[in-house]
A and B are shown apart, each in its own frame.
Chain A
Amino acid sequence: MNYKALTAIAVALSLPLSAYADADDDTLVLNEEETLVTKTAAPAHLSDVMDEVMSGWHFRSDETQALQMDDFENPAMVFVDKAFDAWETVEGTEEKSCASCHDDVEESMAGVRAVYPKWNEQAGEVRTLAMQVNDCRENQMGAKPWKYTGGDMTAMEALISVQSRGMPVNVAIDGPVQSMWEQGKEMYYARTGQLELSCANCHEDSYGLMIRADHLSQGQINGFPTYRLKNAKLNNVHARFKGCVRDTRAETYKPGSSDFVALELYVASRGNGLAVEGPSVRN
């Protein structure tokens, strides 16, 4: 049976669930206080292919959506608490903690998540948040770097992300990052793996449709790191990319590799204008 037939089965079976089709029109209100921008006009660089960008939150069931609307319902927040402890924990040969340099996380990290990945002039490279965290650990603290997709790292990403929640994603795509952004764009549209699927096949051409019993989103990453019901833990962007590439039956890139950094830069820029949601809750 070829892929077309599989897809046909998925589509046929999804018909009884047609109430699920398309993104919903719900409003994401956080802690009954703050309304987050989950739909907005597509950034200029996407204007040829779509009018509106939408958070993955709109593609989830009401029950899953509710988990993200209250910080005591959101299971990711316990990991934010853990990372807050780590923020103040002295580690490494320099006997420093994150707080030694960055003081109050609520002040120093406000707005940071919204602009990553970004160019680091000193290093002459595009850096993700996780790369920056590990650079601090190795070169400022004299501590061991964390595993790129490990629990310590995803929790720290969540703590940093919380300080920007509600702020619009605003990733730069020009200047020194432009060539890497172009590389990421090329990857986004390149068919890969035995299934010959590009990111765009699912997340640009087919969002709103069902893939088996799951609801395809635009693949926006404004909600990362995200607590997935599937594995009941925080997942960062590169871990999710790896899963997607694997599912096309391709050899995946390594989390933290420059290929995935390029892809993250490009995909992040597709969500420019959406509110930072991390840590979000998804299927």
Chain B
Amino acid sequence: MASGVKPRVKVPKKATPGEAITIKTLISHQMESGQRKDKEGNIIPRSIINRFTCEFNGQLVTDITIEPAVSTNPYFQFEAIVPEAGDFKFTWYDDDGSVYDATKSIAMA
């Protein structure tokens, strides 16, 4: 596991049924592009978050394929429809096989 990876997610606490809400996510990650060289001139191997998904009660909101041009500490903002109370599940997939996740509950207003 890459060291010190920490996710951060913003989801409103409440929504009305069927409402589209805005979600913001960020995860601390170096996103080593595979283009940089170390002091000895050797290529530093690529090590990035390559995929991010967001599901609500098991249904897909978004599934993002990520390539090395996404900045360090990758940030995504998108909208989700909330048909009922439940849980958002966020999952980040690391090149090194690690998987990081976060869950946020939302209630009906």
Contact = CB atoms under 8 A, between A and B. Distances in A.
A283 B97 CA distance: 32
B24 A78 contact: no
Interface string B1-44: 00010111010000000000000101110000000000000000
A232 B24 contact: no
A79 B29 CA distance: 11
A220 B46 CA distance: 37
Given A72-B10, A232-B71, A78 B27 contact: yes
B75 interface: yes
Contacts of A52: none
Contact of A75 (B4, B7, B10, B75): B75
B8 A77 contact: yes
A38 B73 CA distance: 27
Nearest to A80: B8
Interface string A210-246: 0000000000000000000000110000000000000
A81 interface: yes
Contacts of A151: 4
Given A72-B24, A73-B24, A75-B26, A81 B8 contact: yes
B50 interface: no
A144 interface: no
B34 to A, nearest CB: 16
Contacts of A77: 8, 26
B72 interface: yes
Given A232-B71, A232-B72, A79 B28 contact: yes
B37 to A, nearest CB: 16
B71 A72 contact: no
A82 B28 contact: yes
Given A72-B24, A72-B26, A73-B24, A78 B8 contact: yes
Interface string A77-110: 1110110000000000000000000000000000
B88 to A, nearest CB: 15
A91 B10 CA distance: 30
A33 to B, nearest CB: 15
Given A232-B72, A232-B73, A78 B10 contact: no
A81 B26 CA distance: 12
Contacts of B26: 72, 75, 77-78
Interface string B71-91: 111010000000000000000
A82 B24 contact: no
B6 A81 contact: yes
A55 B47 CA distance: 36
Contacts of B6: 78, 81-82
Nearest to B26: A78
Interface in B58-109: 71-73, 75
Interface in A48-94: 72-73, 75, 77-79, 81-82
Query: What are the nearest 9 A-B pairs in CB distance?
Result: A232-B72, A72-B10, A72-B24, A78-B8, A75-B73, A78-B28, A82-B6, A78-B26, A78-B6
28 contacts: A72-B8, A72-B10, A72-B24, A72-B26, A73-B24, A73-B75, A75-B26, A75-B73, A75-B75, A77-B8, A77-B26, A78-B6, A78-B7, A78-B8, A78-B26, A78-B28, A78-B73, A79-B28, A81-B6, A81-B8, A82-B4, A82-B6, A82-B28, A151-B4, A232-B71, A232-B72, A232-B73, A233-B72
